[in-house]
């Protein structure tokens, strides 16, 4: 959660700078704030904590498949 809060502060500072990215930064800031608020709720946090093992396993499989595809592409091109 500390990373999300640091990210939110970075977005606040970026919104102060002029430029066309202000709207995009504001949307990302609001999204991050919503995630922080939702994850601070007890029931949702307990549900996330129960399923974190399966989320880790699933994302590990996806990243492993991507890694295999990258290695296969590198080997077949050499």
Do 56 and 35 fall into the same domain?
no
DSSP state of 18: -
Q: Is residue 16 part of a domain?
A: yes
Do 34 and 4 fall into the same domain?
yes
Do 36 and 57 fall into the same domain?
no
Q: Tell me the pLDDT tens digit for each residue of 39-63.
A: 788 887 788 788 888 989 999 999 9
Tokens of 48: 């996330």
- Single out the residue of 28, 6, 30, 26 nearest to residue 16, CA to CA: 26
- For the CA atoms of the chain, what is the radius of gyration? 18
* Total structural domains within the chain: 2
Interval 62-74 mean pLDDT = 94
Residue 7 has pLDDT above 80, yes or no: no
Q: Is residue 11 part of a domain?
A: yes
User: Domain limits at 8?
Assistant: 1-40
């Amino acid at each position: 959660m500390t990373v999300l809060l640091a990210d939110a502060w970075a977005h606040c500072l970026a919104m102060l700078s002029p430029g066309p990215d202000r709207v995009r930064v504001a949307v990302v800031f609001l999204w991050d704030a919503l995630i922080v608020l939702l994850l601070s709720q007890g029931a949702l946090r307990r549900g996330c904590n129960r399923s974190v093992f399966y989320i880790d396993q699933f994302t590990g499989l996806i990243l492993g498949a991507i890694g295999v595809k990258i290695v296969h592409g590198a080997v077949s091109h050499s």
